[in-house]
Amino acid sequence: MTEKLRSVAIDGPSGAGKSTIAKAAAARCGFLYVDTGAIYRTVGLAARRAEADPHSADDVAALLPGLDIRFDYGPDGTQRMFLNGEDVSGPIRTPEASMYASAVSAIPAVRAFLLDMQRDTARTQSVIMDGRDIGTVVLPQAGLKIFLTASLQARAARRLAELAAKGDKSALAEVTADMARRDEQDSHRAAAPLKAAEDAVILDTSDMTLEESIDAVCALIAERFGGEAGR
């Protein structure tokens, strides 16, 4: 049974379109989509609610034993995150939660705490998992690794449109600065920094539409695994 499982690791910076692209590609190719950023965001939210300093390894590590973090998939297939039984899928998406997630994700104890949950999912199902260290740390044996990236300008413009659609009136300069700060934090941390695995295919989507990006990922999947890619 394990033989038939396939895993695809998609890593890259914030706003490269990883989750939208990975989710659509997973649906098209019959894989389970796992958004690991949502899991880190849930720890970030827990830190904020506990009024812990998200940069303090000791303060955040002290919270971990009290956290019950789970995820499942709603009727429409959307990944839902639960923190101690509460559905926090909405609250983890605010810009503030993003900054908390980025800070706590630099703490090695947090990464260790979440590792098994991510690996266990890929042990039982064919997954497309997106994050920052999936190809390098979580699933180093993934059959296909994609490093999905885009210029800071392209990523900021996309994030701005996403926020505007939700009624958020953030300015481009602010969104660009936030994103640059997160890039810096995610790429320069000591624990599992954001970087492409040596055997990753680099896909730059700066000049691609969403459809073109999904097609490109699906083409890579078909090329690597053949026609019967998913479950």
Between 7 and 105, whose beta carbon lies closer to ligand DC? Answer: 105
Between 77 and 223, whose beta carbon lies closer to ligand DC? Answer: 77
Q: 215: burial class by Cβ within 10 Å (0-12, 13-18, 19+)?
A: middle
Contact track, ligand DC, 29-58, x by CB under 6 A: -------xx--xx-----------------
Stretch that binds ligand DC, among 94-102, 172-180, 209-217, 220-228 (CB under 6 A): 94-102
182 binds ligand DC (CB under 6 A): yes
Q: What is the closest distance, in whole angstroms, from the C-beta atom of residue 133 to ligand DC in the complex? A: 5
Nearest to 110 by CA among 18, 181, 47: 47
126 binds ligand DC (CB under 6 A): no
Task: Tell me the DSSP string of 47-100.
Answer: HHHTT--TT-HHHHHHHGGG--EEEEE-TTS-EEEEETTEE-TTGGGSHHHHHH
Angle of helix 95-104 relative to helix 36-49, nearest 10 degrees?
A: 100
Stretch that binds ligand DC, among 82-90, 129-137, 150-158, 200-208 (CB under 6 A): 129-137
Stretch that binds ligand DC, among 50-58, 125-133, 151-159, 210-218 (CB under 6 A): 125-133
Contact track, ligand DC, 99-118, x by CB under 6 A: --xx--x-------------
CA dihedral angle for residue 11, residue 15, residue 17, residue 18, rounded to 10 degrees: 20
Helix and strand counts by DSSP (H, E) for the chain: 8, 8
Q: What is the closest distance, in whole angstroms, from the C-beta atom of residue 108 to ligand DC in the complex? A: 11
Q: Which residues contact ligand DC by CB under 6 A?
A: 14, 36-37, 40-41, 98, 101-102, 105, 131-134, 182, 186
